[in-house]
Amino acid sequence: MTGAPEVAHAKLNLALHVRRREADGYHAIETLFVFCADGDVLTRTEGPGLIVSGPFAGALGEGGDNLVTRAARGFAEIFGDEEAGFHLDKRLPVAAGIGGGSADAAAALRLLARAQGVAATDPRLMTLAASLGADVPACLLSQPTRGDGRGDRLQPIASTLAGMPVLLVNPRLPLATGPVFAAWDGVDRGPLADGDPLDVARAARNDLEPPARTLLPAIDAVLDALHACAGVTLARMSGSGATCFALFEDAAARDAADAAIGKAATGWWRLATHLL
């Protein structure tokens, strides 16, 4: 390993409004991104390629060609560096609505940019991020951000959420993004408001939650368990699922919820953390 590790911060959508389906098949969305202190961990290696370990390494097979290697290849082509290699400690579930590969690719770009003295604001870096996936630019920033368009037209927002305790829960069942968007009912239920992100999120919704719950009913049980916990400020599904989250008034309430859910549903994945 070479250099300090980089956290690929888990991404949460506090709200996600789907406004319409575009002619090219993509959906116009409005969303509030926030990021957790914890996530996958990426470290540079001496040679090119990708080594994967960790609890969810098996979901990625032997590594090979994925968003991290594409990020390394794209960076080398744009900035004239040799293609870098990485070790990925895969701690987050795959196809889970919390960034996953997008966060990993963004972490790789942050590591490479620092090593080569490339400014985080370099437009070439953001263009490369956007070419890798709609969520990669937001994950590159890893700060409270409003996303419009495909979620890649970004506007950082002022937030008082830093440090807020959060519990992530996933039923350990993958849920692909495409089928969830395809099952959206096509109804525009209105725009996402502006203002304090927590107030906005409480008044908002995740339009992908109903189709995701239909496709994967286990999400119902996860959300019911979170809503039943004391001290919950907001509970919702993130992204296209199946991971759900709850924001808490304090760490003690979060930890009590984590313990109670862990005892009641031993097969579920959980992550007790806090927002950046």
pLDDT over 70 (residue 62)? no
User: Is the domain of 151 the same as that of 183?
Assistant: no
User: Is the domain of 83 the same as that of 210?
Assistant: no
Distances in Å between the Cα of 264 and the Cα atoms of 8, 168, 226, 229, 255 are 29, 15, 12, 12, 14
Q: What is the mean pLDDT of residues 45-59?
A: 92
User: Is the domain of 181 the same as that of 104?
Assistant: no
129: domain CATH number?
3.30.230.10
Q: What is the mean pLDDT of residues 97-120?
A: 96
Residue that finishes a domain, picked among 100, 126, 156: 156
Residue that finishes a domain, picked among 139, 156, 173: 156
Q: What is the mean pLDDT of residues 1-16?
A: 93
Per annotation, catalytic residue among 89, 104, 135, 258: 135
Phi first, then psi: give them for residue 80, nearest 5 degrees.
Answer: 75, 25
User: Is the domain of 53 the same as that of 128?
Assistant: yes
108 is in which domain, residue-wise?
2-156
pLDDT over 60 (residue 265)? yes
Q: Is 199 a catalytic residue?
A: no
Return the H-helix or E-strand segment holding 23: none
pTM summary value: 0.96
pLDDT over 60 (residue 63)? no
User: Is the domain of 86 the same as that of 203?
Assistant: no
User: Is the domain of 137 the same as that of 267?
Assistant: no
180: domain CATH number?
3.30.70.890
Q: What percent of the chain has pLDDT over 70?
A: 98
User: Is the domain of 134 the same as that of 36?
Assistant: yes
pLDDT tens per residue, range 168-218: 999 999 999 999 999 999 999 999 999 999 999 999 999 999 999 999 999
CB-based contact 244:257 (threshold 8 Å): no
User: Is the domain of 45 the same as that of 150?
Assistant: yes
DSSP 275: B
> Would you state the pLDDT for residue 46?
87
Q: Give the total number of structural domains in the chain.
A: 2
pLDDT tens per residue, range 223-255: 999 999 999 999 999 999 999 999 999 999 999
> Would you state the pLDDT for residue 2?
74
CB-based contact 172:244 (threshold 8 Å): no
DSSP per residue, 62-82: T--SSHHHHHHHHHHHHH-PP
User: Is the domain of 54 the same as that of 87?
Assistant: yes
User: Is the domain of 139 the same as that of 190?
Assistant: no
Q: What's the mean pLDDT when you consider all of the chain?
A: 96
d(CA 191, CA 131): 26
User: Is the domain of 178 the same as that of 43?
Assistant: no
> Would you state the pLDDT for residue 43?
98
Residue that finishes a domain, picked among 93, 125, 156: 156
> Would you state the pLDDT for residue 3?
77
User: Is the domain of 132 the same as that of 93?
Assistant: yes
DSSP per residue, 129-196: HHHH-TTHHHHHH-S-EEEETTTTEEEE---S-TT-EEEEEE-S----HHHHHHT-------PPP-S-
Q: Is 11 a catalytic residue?
A: yes
Burial of 178 (0-12, 13-18, 19+ CB in 10 A): exposed
pLDDT tens per residue, range 127-145: 999 999 999 999 999 999 9
